[in-house]
Structure 1
């Protein structure tokens, strides 16, 4: 039988859906030496019907090779590529087929364009799935340059130095990055848990460049010698912050003296010392000090020599001791934060009407001070924003601080456990139009009158609202607080209860109370608590602690 007879018989069997028999006859035709594109195209059609797409694609390629000017091989290849999810190749074959089809063969052109549209849509869907898979599984951050990676770590560690330990345990890559970046290890906090090992490890990873060094108070005396030995190789010229107890500070000073590096003291920007006898021996090394933050506990008169050397402070915290306030403030008139507690101010022999203007002071916190007027009488702080008065015997003396416009930009006022009158507090509140936070805690006989004043109008009958920006109120442990006073404060500031003009606006609208604490206020009626919780975002009214409750039982 010739290849033509085999081919014709195969066509006949194909039309009668005898695909296997047709395939055998086409194979026989090829084996008899036929190299016509018609035979390969017919055999490709049989393979396509049988689902043998790869075999059909091989025959379609033969058609293209033997008859490159005909569209049939390209069209079939396009269909097969699409069936095999190779849509990029399918689109290429479609374009080649369209170039070879006659312009007047509209039906075939429509079929191929429809197939091209399907292949394009399938290609887009595949790309979307690929992108979705990559977004879930790809490690994008690993492609960042080392410098950017280290910069990101730096921002995290700057907010909380302890985060470096978590970052270094995420994965092997992050661990390697953290270890190889010395700037991430420049904050060293030494505690009682393996202190020597930690110092050695941090010194190694920071390459001796520690900028912030602090010691917990619970470090054993047995560990101090080994700790100081490890610190002897520290690059002391780069140290900017130091926090230590007085005895440890003295030993660190001795170490610096042995190393002839006591100039590191004058280069410090932040210093925190708790209790230090014989501080006068360190004073010469504070000459031309760069200190911006100073915190000292148990201040003694012998430390007064600091104020002739320390003149750049922005934050000063003095806890416990005796201090001459005027020289300290006069020497540091750029102060932004001042915290004084448990102090006995030493009065100057002749203060007169001299005042210290602290134009940069934004935060003032006073607590447990015997005579606060010695401080308030001399301070002028026109830009004060935060004022805390805790445990002051005669806090009405703070009115001496209220001269001029001292409270015109005050935003936070906290008063607790103070002996004062409602008229004194009202005077402060009346001079603080921008007040946002108010705390009156652990006080008796003043809170109801103050709330009446806030909910009413100014005494000058100008009918100007008090504290229009007030949002956060804490009235904890005021045993005489009446429910109606707190109710009036919240209700008068609800948007729904404030007057509306004809055009629907609310000019001069007062801010709503966002947080209200009434803990330890026994006169607050329990029936009103659901109303408060519904009107205030953050509300707390705990009548007593668990400990107090057990004692009453």
Structure 2
């Protein structure tokens, strides 16, 4: 049989969809010497029907090589490239085919236009998939300069210095940057777990530039020698904050004396010291002190000599002891935070005005203070924003001094508990505090219902003005005489849906809704009203008694 007969037989079988038989005849025709582009194009068509795209592409390339001026090889190659997801090559073949198709062959041009649109759409979809895959897997942050990386780490460390350890465990890249950035290691907290080893590591990574140094109180005394040995190479002039027990503070002071660097004490800006006997021997080192924060546990009478040397305090926190409060305040007129626990103020003879104007004082917290009037009657704080008074003894009315003073118009948070006061004093303070957002009244009998009626407007003030329009958070825990109607009125009168609306839809002088309400330990609150409170208040708590108390009552 000649190649022509084989070719014709193959075409006949192809038309009858007998692709395997057609392929055999086309192979026979080629083996008999047929080298026309037509037979390669025909065999490519058979391979395309059988799904042999790669074999079909080889024959289509043969068509292009043997008849480069004909469009058939380029058009078939374009279809095959598109089927193989090689759309860029398909678009090139389509352009070459367009150049060879006659202008009046509208049908084939339309077919190629449709194929070109499909190839373009597939190419866009592939690029989008590639972009999405890169977005999920690519390490974009690794392209940041080291300086920017360090700044980001610094922001994380500023919020919580302990995060430095987590950052070093993320990956090798992060660990390398963190270890090579000394500023990230300037806060050192020493605990009982391998203290000497930790100091050595931190001092090395901070390149001796430790600025904040803290010691836990449970460090065994046997570790102190090794701790001091590791601290010796420290660049002490960079130290700005120190938290330490009194005994260890004495050992550190001796070390500084050996290094002739005791002036470091006066350079400290923050000092937290616990139980320091014999403090008078350190007093000369506080001359012209830069202290801004002083926290002392167990304040001794000898420490009162500090007030002739310490004049820049912004935060004073003293837990237990005997304090000459007026000299302390006069020595530090820029005080912003005053926090006192378990304290006995020492009365002193004062020549001239016994009151102290503290214009910068923003926060005052007094806990378990004897003779609190020795403090409250000398403090004038027109810009006070936070006031806490708890467990105040030997006082007829703990708020009396504030009620008789100028209104606390800047007050935002008032917490009073376990002390003696009257509803009239509280109402005077509340009426003069339009910015108040948080109110706590705990363990005070005979006051809370009258005060809530005043705030709710049930018993309005003389000017019929809203009281505490910004109030959002209320804690009335352990008020055993609190009535349900008082708490209900407080919440009800502040619901926006129940406040008066003008014609244009506005609510003039609209009061803030109560966002959190705590009524724990209030036995008179009716259980039937609890679902209503939970619906109307975002955060609501009413626990009648603890498990321990319930067990004791059984």
TM-score between the two structures when normalised by the length of structure 2: 0.94
CA distance in 2 between partners of 1:345 and 1:532 (Å): 43
SS at match of 2:92: helix
* 456-465 vs 482-491, greater mean Cα deviation: 456-465
Structure 1 counterpart of 2:283: 283
- 1:218 aligned partner: 218
**Cα 1:500/1:30, change in 2 over 3 Å:** same
CA contact (8 A) 2:273 2:295 kept: yes
Tell me, in whole angstroms, the C-alpha distance in 1 between the residues paired with 2:243 and 2:453.
46
CA RMSD after TM alignment: 2.3
- Is 1:109 matched up with 2:109? yes
Q: 1:531 to 1:460 in 2, by over 3 A?
A: closer
Aligned to 1:243: 243
Q: Deviations over 1:18-57 (max 9, x none)?
A: 4334334434444555544333222221221222111111
Do 1:380 and 1:406's aligned partners in 2 also have CA atoms closer than 8 Å?
no
Equivalent residues of 1:6, 1:28 under 8 A apart: yes
Is the counterpart of residue 339 in structure 1 residue 339 in structure 2? yes
Given that 1:457 and 1:465 are in contact with CA atoms closer than 8 Å, whether structure 2 keeps it comes out as: no
Q: CA deviation at 1:405?
A: 4.1
SS in 1 for 2:219: coil
Tell me the equivalent position of 1:134. 134
1:530-545 matches, cutoff 5 A: 530-545=531-546
Aligned positions of 1:398-437 closer than 5 A? 398-402=399-403, 405-437=406-438
Q: 1:50 to 1:322 in 2, by over 3 A?
A: same
- 1:474 equivalent in structure 2: 475
Query: Contact 1:344 / 1:369 at 8 angstroms: preserved in 2?
Result: yes
Q: Where does residue 88 of structure 1 map in the other structure? A: 88
Pairing 1:499-514 to 2, within 5 Å after superposition: 499-514=500-515
- Distance, in Å, in 2 between the alignment partners of 1:499 and 1:546 is 43
1:296-315 superposed matches below 5 A: 296-315=296-315
Unaligned runs of 5+ in 1: none
Per-residue CA deviations over 1:321-350 (Å, capped at 9, x if unaligned) read: 122222222222222211122222222312
CA distance in 2, matches of 1:76, 1:64: 10
1:335–1:68: structure 2 CA closer, same or farther, 3 Å change rule? Answer: farther
Matching of residue 529 in structure 1 with residue 530 in structure 2: yes
Equivalent residue for 2:466?
465
Closer, same or farther in 2 for the Cα pair 1:416/1:460, shift >3 Å? closer
Distance 1:397 1:75, change over 3 A: same
CA distance in structure 2 between the aligned counterparts of 1:243 and 1:25, rounded to whole angstroms: 95
Deviation track 1:351-404 (CA, whole Å, cap 9, x = no partner) reads 543532222221111122222222222222221111111111327354334566
Aligned-partner Cα distance in 2 for 1:15–1:38: 15
**C-alpha contact 1:399 1:428 (8 A) present in aligned 2:** no
In the alignment, which residue of structure 2 is the partner of 1:187? 187
Shift of 1:4: 4.9
Q: What per-residue deviation string (whole Å, max 9, x for no partner) do you get for residues 222-248 of structure 1?
A: 111111111111121111211011111
Give the whole-Å Cα distance in 2 for the aligned partners of 1:63 and 1:468. 87
SS in 2 for 1:161: coil
* Partner residue, 1:149: 149
* 2: CA distance, partners of 1:459 / 1:123: 73
Partner of 1:365: 365
How far is 1:274 from its partner? 1.0
C-alpha distance in 1, partners of 2:75/2:297?
89
On the 8 A contact 1:458/1:466 being kept in 2, the answer is: no
> How far apart in 2 are the matches of 1:406 and 1:455?
20
Whole-angstrom distance in 2 between the partners of 1:458 and 1:431: 16
1:305-333 deviation digits (Å, cap 9, x = unpaired):
32233222221112211222222222222
Inter-partner Cα distance in structure 1 for 2:458 and 2:22: 104
TM-superposed CA distance for 1:3, in Å, is 5.0
Quick one: distance in 1 between partners of 2:536 and 2:144?
Answer: 48
Q: Is the Cα–Cα contact under 8 Å of residues 403 and 426 in structure 2 kept in the other structure?
A: no
* 8 Å contact kept, 2:392–2:398: no
- In structure 1, the residue corresponding to 2:304 is in which secondary structure? helix
Residue 270 of structure 1 aligns with which residue? Answer: 270
Offset of residue 521 of structure 1: 1.2
Of stretches 363-372 and 410-419 in structure 1, the one that deviates more from structure 2 is 363-372
* Superposed displacement of residue 179, structure 1: 3.1
SS at match of 1:493: coil
- Larger deviation: 294-303 or 240-249? 294-303
Over 3 Å counting, the alpha-carbon distance change for 1:395 and 1:42 in structure 2 is: farther
Secondary structure in 1 matching 2:397: helix
Q: How far apart in 2 are the matches of 1:68 and 1:378?
A: 104
Aligned residue for 2:259? Answer: 259
The 1:99/1:331 distance shift into structure 2, 3 A limit, reads farther
| Paired position in structure 1 for 2:397 | 396
Q: How many residues align?
A: 553
**Cα offset for 1:185?**
2.3
Deviates more, 1:67-76 or 1:440-449: 67-76
Aligned equivalent of 2:449: 448
Aligned to 1:199: 199
Tell me if structure 2 keeps the 8 A contact 1:457–1:466.
no
Q: Which residue of 2 aligns with 1:552?
A: 553
Determine whether 1:515 maps to 2:516.
yes
* SS class of match (1:396): coil
Quick one: distance in 1 between partners of 2:152 and 2:54? Answer: 51
Deviation at 1:468, TM superposition (A): 1.0
Q: 1: CA distance between counterparts of 2:352 and 2:455? A: 36
